[in-house]
A = this chain, B = another copy of it.
Amino acid sequence: MEMGERLNFWILGGDPRQQALAEALAGDGHEVHTYALEETPGESLEGIWEAHCVVLPLPAAQGENLNAPLCAREVPLAEVLDPLLPGQLVCAGMVSPFLREQAESRGLHLEDYFAREELAVANAVPSSEGAIQIAMEELPITLHGARVLVIGAGRLGKVLCQQLMGLGAQVAVAARKYADLAWIQVRGGRAVRSDRLAGALEDYDLILNTVPAPLLDRAALETLRPGGLVIDLASKPGGVDFDAARELGVKVIWALSLPGKVAPVTAGRAIQTAIYNLLTELGV
């Protein structure tokens, strides 16, 4: 993709992130068509075979349908894939096995932009701000001066540490690897070994977990200070024993998929960047 080149994009389905993506692409001078993104009577796929890039949302599919939450009716994936030509480029987020199979059987060139590292990095920012917003809403103290523990030094842990310190919080970060612990100190945080967390939790007003492993089990939760807040940002099983938390009266908020919820425009622009990079790599 060359700077200034005008490409033809079709945005199929999606939520406000895809709306922001469509707007940002148009703002860059590209030709943009949408389908099943909003409730648009009489819209058609006429001409989609001329698209340089067909964009499916994040996630791309719900079962056998396109993920199209802003559109009243159900849109089968087949409906939008059938008009495409073999070899045509489809960029989709979180590609499911069913979608991959459907794309392959039609000879489409399918790429998963959600697998790109730079999108994961960019998404850590709205995730971090979403968590900070929740903490501000829930806590009776300011984050400035608050004692905060971030569990995990991955992408989200790093951005949380940066933004919380930027607000003036006293931030500790728990990690396993020695190199991560060294980085935490370089960044100005207090480095805590994950395997020494038990019994060290009473110092914190706020605990933000980013690790999908059962680190905050009953024994750990028992040591929390009264009024301490836990926000679990870890995917799938989460990192908190929610039953124990309920019994102990520990307030835990499980917050997932924050980028699309708290900052869809920023999240949409991050998808745009990932797609641009993909097109550049493919020589489109």
Q: Is the CB of B168 within 8 A of A167?
A: no
Given contacts A118-B178, A163-B168, A168-B166, whether A263 and B139 have CB atoms under 8 Å apart is yes
Q: Quick check: which of A57-65, A82-90, A180-188 contacts chain B, the rest being far away? A: A180-188
Interface residues of A in 143-168 (CB under 8 A from B): 143-145, 159, 162-163, 165-168
Contact of A125 among B159, B166, B186, B273 (CB under 8 A): B186
| Residue interface mask A108-129, B partner, CB < 8 A = 1 | 0000000011111110111001
Contact of A165 among B166, B182, B185 (CB under 8 A): B166
Q: Is the CB of A129 within 8 A of B264?
A: no
Kindly state whether residue A200 has any CB partner on chain B within 8 Å.
Answer: no
Kindly state whether residue A277 has any CB partner on chain B within 8 Å.
Answer: yes
Contact of A186 among B116, B122, B179 (CB under 8 A): B122
Kindly state whether residue A102 has any CB partner on chain B within 8 Å.
Answer: no
* Bound CA span A5–B277, Å: 45
Residues of B within 8 A of A20 (CB): 140
Contact of A124 among B159, B186, B273 (CB under 8 A): B186
* Bound CA span A118–B184, Å: 11
Residues of B within 8 A of A273 (CB): 182
* Bound CA span A182–B122, Å: 6
Given contacts A118-B178, A182-B118, whether A125 and B168 have CB atoms under 8 Å apart is yes
Residues of B within 8 A of A277 (CB): 178
Q: Is the CB of A163 within 8 A of B188?
A: no
Residues of B within 8 A of A126 (CB): 142
Given contacts A133-B133, A186-B168, whether A118 and B181 have CB atoms under 8 Å apart is yes
Residues of B within 8 A of A188 (CB): 168
Q: Is the CB of B163 within 8 A of A144?
A: yes
* Bound CA span A129–B167, Å: 8
Q: Is the CB of B263 within 8 A of A142?
A: yes
Name the residue among A16, A119, A129 with the largest chain B CB count within 10 angstroms. Answer: A129
* Bound CA span A267–B25, Å: 45
Contact of A263 among B141, B162, B168, B177 (CB under 8 A): B141
Q: Is the CB of B166 within 8 A of A136?
A: no
* Bound CA span A277–B186, Å: 17
Residues of B within 8 A of A121 (CB): 179, 182-183, 186
* CB-CB nearest in chain B for A184: B121
Chain A positions near chain B (C-beta within 8 angstroms): 16, 20, 116-122, 124-126, 129, 132-133, 136-137, 139-145, 159, 162-163, 165-168, 177-179, 181-183, 185-188, 262-266, 273, 277
Given contacts A20-B140, A133-B133, A141-B263, 6 further A-B contacts (CB under 8 A): A132-B167, A133-B137, A137-B137, A139-B263, A141-B265, A178-B277
